Structure 1
Amino acid sequence: MPDATRTNNMPDEPGVPDVSVIIGAYEAMPYLIQCLESVDAQTIGAERLEIIAVDDGSTDGTGAYLEEFAARTAIPTQVIRQANSGGPSGPRNVGLKLARGRYVFFLDADDYLGEEALERMVAMGDRAGTDVVLGKIVGVNRGAPKSMWKETVERADLYTSNIKFTLSAQKLFRRDLLLRLGMSFDETLKTGEDALFTMEAYLRGDGVSVVADYPCYYLVGRDDGKHATKSGTYVLRFDSARALTKLIATHVPPGPERDVLMVRPFVVTLLPQFGPSMLRQSEEVRRRKMELGAPLMRDYWTPGLARRLKVQERLRLACVAEGRLDLLLDILQFMKDKKEPEAVRKGVRGHYHLTYPHLGEPGGLPDSAYEVVVPERVKGGKTQRPEPQSPAMFMRRLKRKARRVARTVLSTPRRAR
């Protein structure tokens, strides 16, 4: 619980601000300086904002700087100083309980906003009547998601757009939604808590908007490498994947729509645990990862989900589903050696398959695990696409194969048969 609170510039009977900016800060200096300056410079105006900043037990002067900023800014600001909570969820939940704004925005103390960010995002939320607004994210000294910023959209479709691949907390949320659903960040999760929170808002809220024509949020890579998403053990990643898959399954019935959403936890959260770095890990860690992954594969891995993935993604997860650590290690070695698969035709329908290890071998994975079903990069840098076939094309291919078989039989001496 907070042990001290400082309030600056808070009227006795204030009007409701448009946005409550919630900043959880831990050992945030000197990045906090630019973060707070970016809020102070927002074109929406100080009278339409409030800041709730929670110093989560910092020892580097973060708390003192927050109080100094609160004393001079025109934005109504509360500073809460508390013992370290062990993760970002606690400070965000403290700020959420104190927030009064129509919207809340969770701003990490390492990052900063574009000057027009909140003005543009609030205008979008009010115009579209949506409960969540995504502002374009730009990476600074680190990567950032890109595929969902192709165009500004008043109401994005969760299933056909790529918004499912940006589940960080740095978005504008309508506070009424969070109050109505009793939403908060899961403090038992030490990573992936923001993905769980945001996906629930996507699923249960009234629409999601995208502001893609202006850089709203600058995601900063810290020089000291202390960014929260880089910390924690592999077990925490499985906890995150388990929570997110369960949430999706709770709100979306089995079928194509669930499969679409399951791509996010399987590819972004789970799959990296079964990457080439696994080759350097001990046998104990390898087997533990297979054990942790098995229940997720049993409960949520479906043919529909598998066919939404690239071959190497599908193969690795299929190995986990089948408990085939031996095959998985061979595939990972192929990837580590930077070998490139070729595309070959297989089966009656002549579909393209990629020549990853053990294709067509007895006792291996079925050929369908190697089939090209989404565009793939193959040997020589060529993009191989799945080849749609009409019934007529299929029949012609079948007849050609039958003729080849007949010629082989007729040319074989009777005694050899």
Structure 2
Amino acid sequence: MDANETDTRGSGAAEPGAVEPDVSIVIGAYEAMPYLIRCLESVEGQTLPAGRMEIVAVDDGSTDGTGEYLDAFAARTAIPTRVIHQANSGGPSGPRNTGLSLARGRYVFFLDADDYFGPEALERMVAMGDRAGTDVILGKVVGVNRGAAKSMWKETVERVDLYHSNVKFTLSAQKLFRRELLQRLGMSFDEKLRTGEDALFTMEAYLRGNGVSVVADHTCYYLVGRDDGKHVTKSGSYVLRFDSARALMRLIATHVPPGPRRDSLMVRPFVITLLPQFGPNLLKQSKAVREKKMALAAPLLAAYWTPGLARGLKANERLRLTCVAMGRLDLLLDVLRFMKAKSEPALVHEDRPSRLYLAYPHFRDGSGLPDSAYEVTVTEWIGGRRIEAPEPKPYLSFARRVVRKIRRTALRTLRAPRSQRGRAGARTRA
């Protein structure tokens, strides 16, 4: 252990050689008071027996009493608890890695000190992992004083299809991971990334682990928005977001070959990480920032933007990224002004083949933007109306229709004499 760390073991601390716990709860804490109080109460309130859990808490250089509260908790709790005090690392990756290196449980859960568990959360998630044999178990998350992803909690699933599931849209670290997987792959959080490090870690576990389970019928985790605005996701330069997007895209490309499956996963970094940099707020930013963002995005679009990926997006999303891919900041700004004004695009229907377009700015005006950038390919909502992509209709080219008509006429001609003779014979016998 480094000289600037201390190890505090309370009455519940595990002795060397103790039975392996089911879950190691790793808590990285920085300036976490008073949220830490409820966080730890939620651990003590779990239905797993105290001996089947352990807490590894890392005080990352706090000055608000966080470290002292952890020491006091460790001294009185029945849960084996280890507290590490270290100098501030500047981000969540450092304390998580410290905690992971000391974890002994079959599973590891990364619990943020601001958040708290729902009752029975760990018991239900451990039971799911043991039953399904999966390496990552997601428990339903609900936001408190902040939003939380919802689309992946529609049903409890023992083993999801990663490429068709919405679990790719929840890549935070607050999940149950099988520790054997993390050890075997030598996984840790990238301490060079200042945001999105949890997305990189979780996506790697999704891709390289033995399956993902979802517990959706019980609230397992409460994601808390801090009143003081110190939550890590609310801070940081836009450059950090591009660093995060680049790292996640590179990881996906490393483990998934080009094609529909890669495209389905790439939707996540493009829509959640990259696209917000090209929203209406861009209108308020300086010319230098706009041009810098375009320059940062260009190599990502050149490397990973594909027609298959594009068709998985809403029209306004695809249109904005198409403008970025073409280097047309001028056209992008026009689209953003249209969006900021909350204007509604006209619907343009076409047959043969059946297509529907949303006529955002520069639709068919000679600017060079392709029709495909405006096409409705997924369900959208415009002005409170649900807009569906048209069902594909079977369509035959003119040449194929002519060939079919000739073939049907020839068959009728060949059959006619036989039919006529048959009818004539029937009349004679009558």
- Indicate whether the TM-score tops 0.5: yes
Distance 1:358 1:49, change over 3 A: same
Equivalent residue, structure 1, for 2:142: 138
Q: Does 1:51 align with 2:55?
A: yes
Give 1:390's aligned amino acid: K
Unaligned runs of 5+ in 1: 400-417
Equivalent residue, structure 2, for 1:405: none
**TM-score, normalization by structure 2:** 0.90
Q: Does 1:275 align with 2:275?
A: no
Give 1:280's aligned amino acid: K
Q: Does 1:387 align with 2:359?
A: no
| Structure 1 stretch displaced more, 358-367 or 128-137 | 358-367
Distance 1:202 1:293, change over 3 A: same
Equivalent residue, structure 2, for 1:242: 246
Pick from 71, 77, 92 the counterpart of residue 88 of structure 1.
Answer: 92
| Structure 1 stretch displaced more, 255-264 or 334-343 | 334-343
The alpha carbon displacement at 1:311 in A equals 0.3
Report 1:217-256 matches (<5 A).
217-256=221-260
The alpha carbon displacement at 1:287 in A equals 0.1
Equivalent residue, structure 2, for 1:291: 295
* Alpha-carbon distance in 2 for matches of 1:352, 1:241: 31
Give 2:384's aligned amino acid: G
Q: Does 1:73 align with 2:77?
A: yes
The alpha carbon displacement at 1:349 in A equals 2.8
- Map Cα deviations across residues 270-329 of structure 1 (whole Å, 9 max, x no partner): 000000000000000000000000000000000000000000000111111000000000
Equivalent residue, structure 2, for 1:410: none
The alpha carbon displacement at 1:367 in A equals 1.0
The alpha carbon displacement at 1:7 in A equals 1.7
* Alpha-carbon distance in 1 for matches of 2:135, 2:376: 38
Pick from 259, 262, 268 the counterpart of residue 266 of structure 2.
Answer: 262
Give 1:244's aligned amino acid: L
Equivalent residue, structure 2, for 1:99: 103
* Alpha-carbon distance in 2 for matches of 1:349, 1:290: 34
Q: Does 1:212 align with 2:182?
A: no
Partner SS, residue 5 of structure 2: strand
Give 2:286's aligned amino acid: S
* Alpha-carbon distance in 1 for matches of 2:393, 2:176: 46
Contact 2:352–2:395 at 8 Å: present in 1 too?
no
* Alpha-carbon distance in 2 for matches of 1:364, 1:110: 49
Contact 2:354–2:390 at 8 Å: present in 1 too?
no
Pick from 320, 323, 329 the counterpart of residue 325 of structure 1.
Answer: 329
Partner SS, residue 349 of structure 2: strand
Which structure is larger by alpha-carbon Rg, 1 or 2?
2
Pick from 308, 311, 320 the counterpart of residue 312 of structure 2.
Answer: 308
* Alpha-carbon distance in 1 for matches of 2:397, 2:100: 59
* Alpha-carbon distance in 1 for matches of 2:392, 2:136: 41
Unaligned runs of 5+ in 2: 403-430
Partner SS, residue 222 of structure 2: strand
The alpha carbon displacement at 1:48 in A equals 0.2
Distance 1:184 1:260, change over 3 A: same
Report 1:107-126 matches (<5 A).
107-126=111-130
Q: Does 1:161 align with 2:165?
A: yes
* Alpha-carbon distance in 1 for matches of 2:397, 2:39: 60
Equivalent residue, structure 1, for 2:175: 171
The alpha carbon displacement at 1:13 in A equals 2.2
The alpha carbon displacement at 1:393 in A equals 7.8
